[in-house]
């Protein structure tokens, strides 16, 4: 189960970066987003099967639940609320970005297991760092994506 978990995490990190960097609303965006969602469900689901190896629930299990909720709501916005909620794209972006940031930060914690274990490090790694990255990415990219998703001028009949 650990192998499936690691493969799904790496796939989600790579594909998620591709989704962030590529144009939004295209067929490629939807296809890569689908792969990201499937990988997210795979790594979050497999995290719960790794519970017997630790013998207890850890913060990583809570992050898995969080990411399942974020991605589920993030996917439902363009799918079901596109025509009812005017700012669906901003909420879609926020939810999906935060799920990606939480994934990367969690991976960071596993990649650097020699961090000191005290009360400050988990707060920095699991709260301050993801929130800071999310705010930075949103402020940097949301205006660009909002302009790209805004409806263009109404075409004039040239006849």
CA atoms of 110 and 107, how far apart (whole Å): 5
Place of tokens 């705010």: 135
pLDDT tens column, 50-87: 765 667 777 788 889 999 999 999 999 988 888 888 78
Task: Give me the DSSP letters along 31-89.
Answer: HHHHHHHHHHHHHHHHHHHTHHHHSS--HHHHHHHHHHHHHHHHHHHHHHSTTT-TTHH
More confident residue, 142 or 67: 67
CA atoms of 121 and 93, how far apart (whole Å): 28
Q: How confident is the model at residue 35 (pLDDT cuts 50, 70, 90)?
A: very high
pLDDT of 24 reads: 80
CA atoms of 134 and 130, how far apart (whole Å): 6
More confident residue, 87 or 130: 87
pLDDT tens column, 80-124: 888 888 788 888 888 998 899 889 888 877 766 656 666 676 666
Q: How far lies 14's CA from each of 21, 32, 40, 94, 126, in Å?
A: 11, 10, 12, 19, 21
CA atoms of 35 and 33, how far apart (whole Å): 5
pLDDT of 70 reads: 95
Q: How confident is the model at residue 157 (pLDDT cuts 50, 70, 90)?
A: very low
DSSP one-letter code for 114: T
């Amino acid at each position: 189960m650990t192998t499936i978990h690691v493969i799904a995490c790496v796939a989600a990190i790579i594909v998620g970066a591709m989704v962030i960097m590529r144009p939004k609303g295209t067929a490629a965006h939807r296809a890569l987003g689908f792969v990201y969602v499937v990988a997210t469900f795979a790594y979050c689901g497999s995290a719960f099967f790794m519970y017997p190896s630790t013998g207890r629930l850890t913060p990583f299990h809570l992050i898995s639940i969080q990411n399942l909720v974020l991605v589920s709501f993030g996917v439902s916005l363009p799918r079901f609320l596109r025509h009812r909620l005017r700012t669906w794209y901003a909420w879609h972006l926020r939810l999906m970005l935060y799920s990606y940031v939480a994934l990367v930060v969690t991976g960071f914690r596993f990649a650097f297991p020699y961090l000191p274990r005290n009360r400050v490090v988990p707060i920095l790694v699991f709260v301050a760092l993801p929130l800071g990255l999310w705010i930075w990415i949103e402020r940097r990219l949301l205006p660009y994506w909002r302009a790209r998703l805004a409806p263009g001028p109404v075409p004039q009949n040239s006849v």
